[in-house]
Amino acid sequence: MEEIHAPLSDQAALAESQHCLYCYDAPCIHACPTGIDVPTFIKRIANGDAAGAAKTILTANILGASCSRVCPTEVLCEGACVLSHEYEPIQIGLLQRYATDYVTARGIFVLDAPAEATGFHVAIVGAGPAGLGCAADLASLGHHVVILEKEVEAGGLNTRGVAYYKMKPRVSLDEVRLVESLGVEIRTGVNVGTDLTAADLLSQYDAIFVAIGLGHESELGIPGEVGAGVRSALDFIRDIHEMPLESVSIGKTVLVIGGGNTAIDAVSQAKRLGATFATLAYRRKEDQMSAYAFEVALARATDCRMIFEAKPVEVVRHGNGGLAGVKFIHASSGKEWIEPCDQLLLAIGQPKQDHFLKSLFPSLQLDARGCVVTDPLTGRTSLHKVFAGGDCANGGMEVVNAVGEGKKAAMAIHHMLTGKTAAPKSQNSRCGIAHPAAGAGLWNPIRSATH
Ligand code: SF4
């Protein structure tokens, strides 16, 4: 159950960093929703300055440590690396993890001290990635920030909703402490709407950022679903984080229904924890899965089985009510069959929180999906001084997208409150060295022989 990618050693990080071309107008920066200055942090590692590298990363993305583990780097920064066209991309994710782990392990605080207090107060509803990203930038600009979180722990799904082999809760909780160290107050166990009304928020705070994420796992809505042996994949993953591993209930024949990354996490995790058979069933074709191809490959590599075009129609039970399996109908052939299982995990998506949002802010504009309508550049909503970002606005994207939306809203809130435009919390000012695609001929292909 160790993290799937081993961390880089000092020597490996140094060697890898020296292959970076330090590109002018580097595409890896543009591919990052938080605009981390990738070549600069890599250059700092190459110079033996891991703490400086961490400062570059964390200034742009306060969740840089968790993003280095859960980001689909293959389709973001590493996918954009110029070296990926003909050779292997720089291992940006592993280098980012190396630098952020370096300062966390040594207790080194690398961020600049927050600006002088402005006297403005901002409330953030939700302590997930969007809320934390927004809070960090607002606090560093001198605003007093209070995050209101209904769960007992902050961090959102990063803390208890990611497969154990990808990231341990410790990484997320360390990031929460980092945000608090900027002066952000996090109040957990607070139910906005009951403990604190929208009227309270609007009267007590100068701005509000709504970052409530999505609701709990959706249900199939088929006969037999309610009963023993059936649970949400997110609850299953949460148990793995919170209980001794030997106490987590694992079936011998585990069936996971869903086609996203949570489904992949659940089926891989079940197999790694001892299920004899672990099967993922998805109602559409493989190329229509929302899970990334490399995640699917990872599950297959751990002997997980996949069945496609499998539409569940009934959860089949024994006479005593015990779980027997799931009856499916094939989407193309119409053939029916029963897939036996003694544990069924549902990962069919999280519902939008439109009812809650409407009860909190009746005139808040939502789109047809139930997401908050926001200005994409600022996170402004239809309500004065109310901003939103993360999954409740984008419908469910990556952690790094949520952090990026939180940062954009922070800049917009700062401008609304002070009339000033803050410099983005990332820099991209280096002497440029053109990459091979520009024909500069500075690149040494010898690197390819080392990989
Ligand atoms: Fe980014 Fe260029 Fe370095 Fe790749 S080689 S990581 S694109 S700066």
> Which residue ranges make up each domain of the chain?
10-111+427-432, 121-215+356-418, 230-346
20 Cβ inside 6 Å of ligand 1: yes
> Exposed, middle or buried by CB within 10 Å (0-12, 13-18, 19+), for 344?
buried
How much is the pLDDT for 59? 97
Residues sharing a CB contact under 8 Å with residue 355, sequence separation 6 or more, in sequence order = none
Which residues make beta-bridge pairs with 255? 279, 344
Which CATH topology does 10-111+427-432 take?
A: Fumarate Reductase Iron-sulfur Protein; Chain B, domain 2 (1.10.1060)
User: Chain-centre distance of CA 66, in angstroms?
Assistant: 8
pLDDT at 435: 32
Average pLDDT over residues 251-263: 95
Q: What confidence score (pLDDT) does residue 437 get?
A: 33
374 DSSP β-pair partners: none
Is the pLDDT score of 209 beyond 70? yes
Our answer on whether the CB atom of 31 is closer than 6 Å to any ligand 1 atom is no
- pLDDT score at 443: 28
Residue with tokens 């992949």: 264
Percentage of residues of the chain with pLDDT beyond 90: 80
Best of 22, 44, 443 for a ligand 1 pocket test (most atoms within 8 Å of beta carbon): 22
Q: Does 121-215+356-418 match 230-346 in CATH topology? A: yes
Please tell me the distance from the alpha carbon of residue 409 to that of residue 201, in angstroms, as a whole number: 17
146-162: pLDDT as tens digits: 999 999 999 998 998 88
| Closest residue to atom 1 of ligand 1, CA basis | 28
Token pair 């600006």 in the structure block, residue: 115
Cα–Cα nearest to 137, from 200, 209, 30, 52: 209
Task: Quote the CA–CA distance of 184 and 431 in Å, as a whole number.
Answer: 35
- Residue 216's pLDDT is 79
Mean pLDDT for the chain overall: 91
* 90 Cα: distance to centroid of ligand 1 (angstroms): 7
pLDDT: which is higher, 45 or 241: 45
pLDDT attached to residue 83: 96
DSSP string, 323-376: EEEEEEEETTT--EEEEE-SEEEE-S-PPP-HHHHHHH-TT--B-TTSPBP--T
Question: How many A from CA of 439 to the centre of ligand 1?
Answer: 15
Ligand 1 midpoint to CA 10 (Å): 20
Ligand 1 pocket check for 23: Cβ under 6 Å: yes
The pLDDT score that the predictor gives to residue 422 is 81
Number of neighbouring beta carbons within 10 Å of residue 47: 12
- Contact status, residue 260 vs residue 296, Cβ threshold 8 Å: no
Q: Which residue CA neighbors atom 4 of ligand 1 most closely? A: 81
Q: Record the tokens describing residue 216, joined without a space.
A: 């709990």
Instruction: Please report how many Cα atoms fall inside a 13 Å half-sphere around the Cα of residue 54, on the Cβ side.
Output: 24
pLDDT of 346 over the 80 cut: yes
In tens, the pLDDT along 88-110 reads: 999 999 999 999 999 999 999 99
Q: What is the distance in A from the centroid of ligand 1 to the CA of 43?
A: 10
In this structure, how many other beta carbons lie within 10 angstroms of the beta carbon of residue 424? 15
| Between residues 5 and 198, the one the model is more confident about | 198
Q: Which CATH class is domain 230-346?
A: alpha beta
As a whole number of angstroms, the distance between CA 260 and CA 295 comes to 9
Distance 40 CA to ligand 1 centre (A): 10
- Given a contact cutoff of 8 angstroms between Cβ atoms, the answer to whether 385 and 206 are in contact is yes
> Residue 237: is its pLDDT beyond 80?
yes
What is the 8-class DSSP label of residue 43?
A: H
- List 336's β-bridge partners, or say none: 329
Answer left, alpha or beta for residue 135, where phi above 0 means left and psi between -120 and 50 means alpha: alpha
Report pLDDT digits (tens) over 396-442.
Answer: 999 999 999 999 999 999 999 999 888 766 544 332 323 333 333 22
What pTM did the predictor assign? 0.86
Angle CA(217)–CA(218)–CA(219) in degrees, nearest 5?
Answer: 120
> Hey, what amino acid is at 394?
N
pLDDT score of 298 more than 90? no
Cβ contact 312:281 at 8 Å: yes
The class of domain 121-215+356-418 in CATH terms is alpha beta
Query: What's the pLDDT at 441?
Result: 29
Q: For residue 223, which amino acid is it?
A: P
pLDDT(1) > 70: no
> How sure is the predictor about 219, in pLDDT bands with cuts at 50, 70 and 90?
confident
Residues 6+ away with beta carbon under 8 Å from 407: 34, 133, 134, 137, 424, 425
Which amino acid is located at 307 in the chain?
A: I
Q: What is the mean pLDDT of residues 257-276?
A: 93
Q: Could you identify the atom of ligand 1 that is nearest to the CA of residue 435?
A: 2
CA of 82 to the centre of ligand 1 (A): 6
Q: Is the CB of 26 under 6 A from ligand 1?
A: yes
Which pLDDT score is estimated for 332? 96
Of the candidates 175, 75, 195, 83, which has an alpha carbon nearest to the alpha carbon of residue 131?
Answer: 175
pLDDT tens-place string over residues 78-87: 999 999 988 8
Q: Which residues contact 161 (CB under 8 A, 6 or more apart)?
A: 234, 237, 238, 262
Share of the chain above pLDDT 70, in %: 93
Pick from 73, 77, 81 the residue to mutate for probing ligand 1's pocket: most ligand atoms within 8 Å of its CB.
81
Burial of 349 (0-12, 13-18, 19+ CB in 10 A): middle
- Per-residue confidence (pLDDT) for residue 428, from 0 to 100: 40
How far is the centre of ligand 1, averaged over its atoms, from the C-alpha of 157 (Å)?
30
Arithmetic mean of pLDDT, 300-307:
94
Q: Return d(Cα 1, Cα 383) in angstroms, integer.
A: 46
